[in-house]
Amino acid sequence: MARDGGGESGSSDKVGLICRALRRAIIEQALEPGAKLPEDALGERFGVSRTIARHALGQLAAEGLVELRRNRIAVVATPSWQEARDTFDIRIELERLVVRQLAGRLSKTQLATLRAHVDAEDAARGGPDAVSIRLATEFHILLATMTESPILIRYVSEIAYRCCLTLSLFSRPHSSECAINEHRLLIDALEAGDSEKVASLMHLHLDSVAERALVAQAKPRGRDIMDILAPYAETAPAAPPPSRKRRLDAAE
């Protein structure tokens, strides 16, 4: 069995590391819907046992990003077009609630943090669409975090990640300029404190994102998972090639 060290806390940290790496790979569309996620390959890439890799996949399955199939086969989830549309509709209602709570209540520091994030989105224009999509998603999660509501933070984060999955399946070129302008309008409305206006702006913004996104199914690129995850696993220790006994232990 691969050395996981650190007891229960260490295992939890490693599960979290894998989850964060896989989420980002999905958000940045390096891992496409339907891509296989073998436990042994994940264990080797992140230097953990198959058991820990399995726990991470289970957590991502609970978030709707991974599908667990028979014979312990895990793949990146593949939502149907209707599921994708429903996900955006649910997200709209959740995020209307978020901005209603925040309208007129954000500190100057929080407003500056939001504007700095949008400046980072602007700086990323002209680069890969996947990076712009990730930054746009993180803007919405940042808003949810500012509510300090664990429930809103959890559900907005999960559904925002699912929408990223949708963007890699039903896609046309990402309109980063539109997203940036809409984010700036949201911040201005939050600062002004008009809860109804900002809720309406959020509805229009996310509905526009859905309309821009839900167009056609993207073609698969077909790359090896070890190569895909290499940049996302840079902070994880490299695992030595397992001996035959360790392979048998990890399979138990």
Q: Domains in the chain and their CATH numbers?
A: 7-78+222-251 (1.10.10.10), 81-213 (1.20.120.530)
Identify the residue with better confidence: 212 or 148.
Answer: 148
pLDDT at 242: 46
Region 166-192: mean pLDDT is: 82
| Distance between CA atoms of residues 191 and 25, nearest Å | 33
Whether the per-residue pLDDT at 252 is higher than 60: the answer is: no
Say which residues have a Cβ less than 8 Å from residue 223's Cβ, sequence separation at least 6.
none
pTM: 0.75
Whether the per-residue pLDDT at 2 is higher than 50: the answer is: no
pLDDT at 214: 62
| Distance between CA atoms of residues 31 and 218, nearest Å | 13
Q: 137, 112 in Cβ contact below 8 A? A: no
pLDDT digits (tens, 9 = 90+) for 76-127: 998 888 888 889 999 999 999 999 999 999 999 999 999 999 999 999 988 8
